[in-house]
Amino acid sequence: MGKRKFNDEEVTDILKEHQAGATVSDVCQRYGISQPTFYRWHSLQLKDASLDAKRMRALELENQKLKKLLAKAITASMRVSVHHHLPEIRMVRPLRFAGYGPVVRC
């Protein structure tokens, strides 16, 4: 296989020029490429775009799963820390003074 005349960025720029309104024949003539080459680049770009969309959707789904896992972990952590910091409650027998209701020792 020979050396490539255009790198990926240049191919993208050529295709964008066509999208901006230039005809295929004008673009091909300007850059010295054949029309089949232009259309091959175009189809490859479309395939790449569809693959990128699939990858993006897969990443979004993975991101949602990770967010749910993080929320569960944070919630569990908060439950543990709340129970850890609560003062221990001791049950004590109430004392009675004459004529007064129950009094709880602290």
Burial of 45 by CB count in 10 Å (0-12 exposed, 13-18 middle, 19+ buried)? middle
Between 52 and 30, where is the model more confident?
Answer: 30
68-92 pLDDT, tens digit each: 999 998 888 877 766 666 566 666 6
Backbone φ, ψ for residue 99 (5° rounding) = 80, -5
| Rounded Cα gap, residues 68 and 61, in angstroms | 11
pLDDT for position 82: 62
DSSP string, 82-106: HHHHSPPP---PPEE-TTS-EE---
Tokens representing 48?
């790449």
Assess whether pLDDT exceeds 70 at residue 12: yes
